[in-house]
Amino acid sequence: MNSHNLYDAGAPARPLAGKAQVYRVAFLTILIREIRRFLRIWKQTLLPSVITTFLYFTIFGNLIGNRIGEMDGIPYISFIVPGLIMMSVITNSFGNVVSSFFGSRFQKNIEEMLTAPLPPWVIIAGFVAGGAARGLCVAVVVTAVSAVFTPPQVHHAGLLIVTVVMCAILFAQAGLINALFAKNFDDINIIPMFILTPLTYLGGVFYSIKELPVFWQGVSKANPLLYMINSFRYAMLGKSDVDVSLAQFVIFLANVILFAVSYWLIRTSRRLKE
């Protein structure tokens, strides 16, 4: 049978199978490259989270936590564990994709992907999965560090896994969008510094919004990171300042929106070839 017969009307499944194979190989190639990239420089990608978490637990957990006592009926050192894990997931998932994808743009090797017979979703999936993988690796490392200070707790294992994976994917997509808009390496630090960091600290990592005046509770509920952190806290400790179903909906909706935006930008943006 010659190659033309692969595209005969009588054998429609074969070209589809061929495309699926190409897409699978492309996705795995990008994913494996991304994982090797952050593992190769683990001293820059994984170790800082260990040191930062250790300092947070030493200062906030032990020194300040002993004076605070309990937060929302939970020992303070245990209360901050979910927030610190989620904060590490957010920053690492975002940072991995924004630096890697912009690096591909800067080095012009992104053009090779654009000229290959790949739909935008395969490129997105590869980079986002790589960023999420780093975020999840850091989550495991930070959880291990937290176990030194307080026994780990799991209230709802299924919700915990879904929340951390969806949040890792969400911020990996956000990092990709940032990389698409960035014009230089300085631009990739603007979003983490001026948006992500303030929203994370104001998202209930170190406190319950129940401790705030009513007005500021309302303001806090406009922060999407509050829903992600509290969903994860509920999964670990069974405590949340917001409705968990609403929190899951916010995370899901944000993922859908960011995927649509990143898909459209890759398909239409001229910045990829600049």
Closest CA to 227 of 125, 84, 95, 83: 83
C-beta separation of 6 from 18 below 8 A: yes
Strand pairing partners for 74?
71
Half-sphere exposure of 120 (CA within 13 A, CB side): 14
Tokens 């707790």 sit on residue: 153
| DSSP of 79-108 | HHHHHHHHHHHHHHHHHHHHHHHHHHHHTT
Answer yes or no: is pLDDT of 59 > 50.
yes
Give tens-digit pLDDT for 129-139: 999 999 999 99
Tokens 């960035």 sit on residue: 182
Q: What mean pLDDT is predicted for residues 238-256?
A: 95
| DSSP of 189-234 | GHHIIIIIHHHHHTTTSSS-GGGS-HHHHHHHTT-HHHHHHHHHHH
- Give the model's confidence band at 71: pLDDT under 50 very low, under 70 low, under 90 confident, else very high: confident
